[in-house]
Structure 1
């Protein structure tokens, strides 16, 4: 077993070395405690940084969810507007088709009447010509 400096009463030269060793041991104890303190502080800062990262990740997830909800809502609104516009266009096309059918029927009746009037005019002119010619 080694003897400690207190067990070995030495001379003045040994006292200087012993004092230096004691100071070095004291400084090493101080350095060790400072190192442990720095390590704890570093670990605490690391834990705080990890907590901030987790918080930031949660906020990013919240923003992503909110953005996706807004995109979905916008898509639904756009789809609804598109369907309304399509329905309105279909109604306009149906109305125009009905109008075209109505005008087509009207034109058909006018053509029928025009053909009738022309036949009547031709028969009348032929009748007048025959009467003037004296055959009737």
Structure 2
């Protein structure tokens, strides 16, 4: 019994399997700006965000990264591409899918831009109420 407990206590969960600042993007589930805003929140909390996607969702990840970079919120830190084996829909044969991971970091004026956007939202809300 003691050996099992020791084994369980010594299990190392790889940092890759679960990252608090990773967003796995799907090309069907959510609108583009859902991911843009989520990425901003993750950068606020963790100073950087990792966007990852497979196959057709890769275009969405690239677009999200470009929106954040072009609006001055993020700088590109790392881009990794790879292929992963997936079970195919037909006959269970493995299929290789392209994978991309983009790590973005906050720009020097990220907090300033976020504060300005928040202020703009509050002003808009105040105007709606009057």
| TM-score, with length taken from structure 2 | 0.19
Which structure's CA Rg is the greater one? 1
Higher helix share: 1
